Structure 1
Amino acid sequence: MGQHLRVNLSAEERQHLLHLVDRGSPPARTVTRARILLMADRSTGNTHTYRDIGSLLHCHADRISRICRRYVLEGLHAALVERPRTGAPPKITGDLEVKLVMPACSDPPDGRKRCTLRLLAEQMVILSHVDSISNVTVYQRLLIPV
């Protein structure tokens, strides 16, 4: 592991982090990052190593190191907020969403009581709207609008 970067929080930053931890309403990852920074803060005389902090907070020392490094190099906000993750773009957007929602809201096909997610996914493929799609993707798109 590389050289430790010393975390020296200002009084305002320390107060902000204490408020985040005490409030309990931010996401758990943000609260954990705040706790890491508070424990790594050298301005108050803390001498915890990354391994000590990791064992107390049930995190790996590498994670502690990354968060402290981001604080020192990029600031408090960068250390607390998760970076956007790369990934595959959504399969269903714009026009395709309309083509999915219309049959989902209409009457079910003959011989069926309701239109299932699997049936909607199969219809999207049969009608050549997409090459392939899972019923989970259909579920996520119908229930979690972007």
Structure 2
Amino acid sequence: MPLPKYIVHLTTEERTELEDLIRTGKRAASVIIHARILLKADTGANGPGWDDDRMAEAVECGASTGYRVRQAFVEESLAAALFRKKPTGRQYRKLDGAQEAHLIALACGAVPEGRSHWTLQLLADRRVELNVVESISPECVRVTLKKTNSSRGCANSGGFRLRPMPNSSARWRTCWRSTPGPTTRPGR
């Protein structure tokens, strides 16, 4: 099945904007390449109307890049063709610093009745009950608690500084004067 052909028709304003963008060179390399692709693919009165292979060779990019840039221009807009989209699947932090501190205080505090210790699910449910967050997963609680030094099971809970370890790579003393023989250099 052949790929659909996306034909680029630039207005004079768009063409001058792209030429100014290329001329200044104050943008990311990908933006400049996309602008050059659009200028070469323009089939209007002032454009050369090149195909993907010739454009890819001139701009020094892949033919699929030219196809994707033309597709974004026709289906969306000039800005969508020039600039990369923000990632949609990115997960931002669920808890800020104050909320993390409250979670740590809750985990180090008294255990609920009928329980011997806090579980990640109990901590997550308690955070929702206290209306600190709308929803939180036990994995988020685990990651938050892992990056702190206040673990109850840890030997160092952060209250006391660890003593520095003695240097295990002490300098070896060689007694080169006490063992005369052919292995030592004369004149030392």
1:7 aligns with 8
Separation of aligned partners in 1, 2:47 and 2:34: 19
1:62 aligns with 64
Q: Which amino acid aligns with 1:37?
A: L
**C-alpha spacing 1:13/1:45, structure 2 compared with 1 (3 Å):** closer
Separation of aligned partners in 1, 2:150 and 2:90: 23
Q: Deviation of residue 45 (structure 1)?
A: 4.5
Greater relative contact order structure (CA < 8 Å, 6+ sep): 1
Separation of aligned partners in 1, 2:12 and 2:89: 38
Q: CA RMSD in A?
A: 2.7
- Aligned with 1:32: secondary structure? helix
- Greater share of helix: 1
Separation of aligned partners in 2, 1:36 and 1:7: 10
Deviates more, 1:8-17 or 1:70-79: 70-79
Deviates more, 1:51-60 or 1:21-30: 51-60
Which has the greater radius of gyration?
2
Q: Deviation of residue 89 (structure 1)?
A: 2.5
Residue in structure 2 matching 1:127, options 150, 163, 167: 150
1:83 aligns with 85
Q: How many residues align?
A: 107
1:107 aligns with none
Of all paired residues, the percent bearing the same amino acid is 28
Question: Unaligned 5+ residue runs, structure 1?
Answer: 100-122, 129-146
Q: Which amino acid aligns with 2:11?
A: S
- Deviation by residue 1:72-125 (Cα, 9 ceiling, x = unmatched): 1112111112111244525696217987xxxxxxxxxxxxxxxxxxxxxxx825
The within-5 A match list for 1:100-119 is none
Question: Unaligned 5+ residue runs, structure 2?
Answer: 102-145, 152-188
1:21 aligns with 22
Separation of aligned partners in 2, 1:45 and 1:96: 57
